[in-house]
Amino acid sequence: MSSLFISDLHLEDSRPQAMQWLHGFLSGPARHAEAVYILGDLFEYWIGDDAAPPAALEIARLTRELDTAGVPCHFIHGNRDFLLGAAFAAEARLRLLSETCVIDLCGTPTLLLHGDSLCTDDLEYQAFRRQSRDSAWQAAVLRLPVEQRLRMAGEARDASRKHTGSSAMQIMDVNEAAVREAFGRHKVRRMIHGHTHRPAVHHHDLGQGVKGERIVLADWYHQGSYLEVSPDGARSITL
């Protein structure tokens, strides 16, 4: 059987087509998989389980049905939905994974992550990332009124768009040294991630004749897709 991987759907009410793609994925190909992995940024923003967007209820229903059918659905937080918590995960039967996770994928140890931690040249973003992953900071934010959290999410998105538009493209991508360090630290030769919105398969020289394979998932802004990994190999499939 195969494992399926998706990331960077950035679901929000203004993009109903992405929701339709996800519905087709979860009620179609995902039903025949061994497992499904969502590697972050399922939602455009998440301000707390107590203020889940309307689309989240439908997604929770679909992932519950997937779990009932015997297909586990795993989730790694992204840079937009890092506040998704245990309450919604339990409702949706999502199995929360740590921000870096190594799994045995068809006999190959494979590192899974969202991918933003690899973009170490973007110093401004990395400073925000350290703050936003701090448990005390998250607890303080979640105590704020919903209206204030919504304003903060809007301001953060505006700032992100401005930062992306004014930054050199190379600092928005992964850093080669960070990639090699992640391969070495986790003792793997394959990793799968999203975040950069630059789908491709990269091969990295890890030294002593060893090569590492890095598979980057596509975003869902213009088309839904998923990565299928089976004993026959890995392939990207368009919905």
140-168 pLDDT, tens per residue?
999 999 999 999 999 988 888 887 765 66
Query: What is the per-residue pLDDT for 160?
Result: 80
Query: What is the per-residue pLDDT for 53?
Result: 86
Query: How many structural domains compose the chain?
Result: 1
31-52 per-position pLDDT tens digit? 999 999 999 999 999 999 999 9
Task: Please compute the mean of the pLDDT values over residues 61-70 and round it to a whole number.
Answer: 97
Query: What is the per-residue pLDDT for 159?
Result: 82
**Percent of the chain topping pLDDT 70:** 97
Task: Please compute the mean of the pLDDT values over residues 77-97 and round it to a whole number.
Answer: 97
Task: Please compute the mean of the pLDDT values over residues 118-147 and round it to a whole number.
Answer: 95
178-213 per-position pLDDT tens digit? 999 999 999 999 999 999 999 999 999 999 899 999
Query: What is the per-residue pLDDT for 168?
Result: 61
Query: What is the per-residue pLDDT for 169?
Result: 67
User: Treating both helix axes as pointing N-terminal to C-terminal, what angle do 146-166 and 135-142 enclose, rounded to 10 degrees?
Assistant: 130
Query: What is the per-residue pLDDT for 166?
Result: 55
Q: What does the block give as tokens for 163? A: 């930062």
Find the length of the chain.
239
Q: Is residue 102 scored above 90 in pLDDT? A: yes
CATH number at residue 197: 3.60.21.10
Domain span holding position 86: 3-238
